[in-house]
Amino acid sequence: MGCGDGARDAMAALAAWQRSQALRELEFALAEAQDEFAALMAAEAAKPLRDARGEVKRALLTVRTAAEEALRIEGAATPLEFAAGAEGSLAVSRRVPVGVVAGITPFNFPLNLVLHKLAPAIASGNPIVIKASPRAPLTALRLGELALGLELPPGAVNVLSGGAEPAVQLTEDGRVAMLSFTGSAVVGWELKRRAGRKKVVLELGGNAANIVHRDADLDLAAGRLAAGAFAYAGQSCISVQRVYAHREIYAALRERLVARAEALVVGDPRDEATDVGPMITDEAAARAFAWMQEAVAAGAKAACGCKRDGGFVWPTILENVPPAAAIYKEEAFAPVLVLEPFDDFAAALRQANASRYGLQAGVFTRDLDAALRAFRELEVGAVLLNECSSWRMDPMPYGGVKDSGFGREGLRSAIAEMTELRLLILRG
- Listing DSSP states for 202-263 in one string gives EE----EEEEE-TTS-HHHHHHHHHHHHHGGGG-STT-EEEEEEEHHHHHHHHHHHHHHHHH
Q: Give the separation between CA 95 and CA 76, rounded to whole angstroms.
A: 10
Q: Give the separation between CA 217 and CA 365, rounded to whole angstroms.
A: 8
Q: At what angle do helices 345-353 and 368-377 cross, to 10 degrees?
A: 30
Q: Give the separation between CA 155 and CA 178, rounded to whole angstroms.
A: 16
Q: Give the separation between CA 26 and CA 33, rounded to whole angstroms.
A: 11
* C-alpha to C-alpha distances, 133 to 107, 116, 126, 189, 192, nearest whole angstrom: 5, 15, 22, 17, 18
Between strands 316-319 and 301-304, the pairing is antiparallel
For Cα atoms 116, 119, 124, give the angle at the middle one, nearest 5 degrees. Answer: 115
Phi-psi region of 277 (alpha: psi -120 to 50; beta: other; left: phi over 0): beta
3-class SS at 303? strand
Give me the amino acid identity at 225.
Answer: L
Q: Give the separation between CA 260 and CA 263, rounded to whole angstroms.
A: 5
Backbone angles phi, psi at 111, to 5 degrees: -105, -55
Which residue among 25, 27, 203, 331 is the active-site one?
203
Which residue among 237, 304, 306, 388 is the active-site one?
237
Between strands 90-97 and 76-79, the pairing is antiparallel
Question: Which residues 6+ apart lie within 8 Å of 423 measured at CB?
Answer: 91, 92, 93
Which of 179, 181, 236 has its CA nearest to residue 359? 236
Catalytic, 237? Answer: yes
Catalytic, 331? Answer: no
- Gyration radius of the chain over CA positions: 23
Active-site residue list: 203, 237
